[in-house]
Amino acid sequence: MTVVLLALHPAYYFARYGVISPQLLAGGATPGLHLNIWYIWLIDPDLGLFPNWPLGLLFLVMGAVLWRSSLGLRADHPEKVDHPIRLLIVGAIFFLACIYSHASTVNLNSGGTPGLARYALWYIPLVYPFALACVVAVSSWRLPAQIVSVTVALACTTAALIVTIRTVNESYQNPSLVSAFVQKHLPGLYDPDPEIFSERYSGLGEAALTKAVVGPDCVKILIFPGSPANAPITAPKKCPFVPAQLDKWVSEQIRTLQHPAYKRIHSNDPTVVGPPST
């Protein structure tokens, strides 16, 4: 009955408009458009679930380890080993359906909640079984192990609360605290999708139509080939670039590119910094 009820929504739109979702009719989605970066809803510092929910990541890792170890401990008694095959099947179908649906959005940099995209919240239920495994395991441990486990869980919860409280006014036009830290101090660790990086770091939001966007480290730069010749190049005020020379350097890079690409440009490069002032 659940499946039948759920099928009524796409069946109605298909029968009346020839599409299974109004998003496809409105142009807000293209099936499978961003499947190559499906993981952003989980790990992207601006959009993803786990960078903004460390306790959930802890549950996922610990729960998986505990479940795996329990299988090994009971290998001699296979009749006692739990095989939640139905739960795993439902979870897998739910995960794949969500990934395909969310990867079909035209607007990747969608907001909705402080610190992460609304799509990321859909994956929280998948962590519940692992969280339950952690709770059951900890309850059977001795007191020292329980104290350590609860302390770690409280630390993760506190960190999540601090991030949430500090980002209440956060917007999809600005980087999250986690993203700002990564791009400023560890920019080589992760390159966001160009749409996300340009809208978060250009200072122009969704109106961003730039030739290039310099990151907060003044080294990473995202270049957009095919942009108008008069399109601006945005960079933090602290970066010591000479605008005219930076524009010339970017124009030279554009000739070699067909798609948006990240490059590295150092603040002591004489081709963009110019001679020292006297």
Q: For the chain, what are the domain ranges?
A: 31-166, 188-273
Element (H, E) at 23: helix 22-26
Paired sense of beta strands 220-223 and 116-117, if any: unpaired
63, two tokens: 């729960």
Label residue 81 left, alpha or beta by phi (over 0 means left) and psi (-120 to 50 means alpha). Answer: beta
Amino acid at 56: G
What pLDDT does 278 receive? 41
Give the pLDDT confidence score for residue 249 in this predicted structure. Answer: 92
Rounded distance between C-alpha atoms, residue 179 and residue 63, angstroms: 27
Query: Low-confidence residues of the chain, pLDDT below 50?
Result: 277-278
Neighbours of 233 (CB within 10 A): 21
Give the integer Cα–Cα distance in Å for 34 and 201: 21
Greatest alpha-carbon pair distance for the chain in Å reads: 82
Instruction: State the Cα–Cα distance between residues 87 and 232, nearest whole angstrom.
Output: 52
**Which of 187, 87, 272 is closest to 179 using CA atoms?**
187
For position 132, what pLDDT does the model report?
81
Helices (H) and strands (E) in the chain, counts: 11, 6
Task: Check residue 80 and give its pLDDT.
Answer: 55
Q: Strands 112-113 and 116-117: what pairing?
A: antiparallel
Are 121 and 42 in contact by the 8 Å Cβ rule? The answer is no
Which secondary-structure segment (H or E) carries 72? Answer: helix 54-73
Contact 51, 178 (CB under 8 A): yes
* pLDDT at residue 16 in the model: 94
Nearest CA to 121 among 86, 164, 151, 66?
Answer: 164
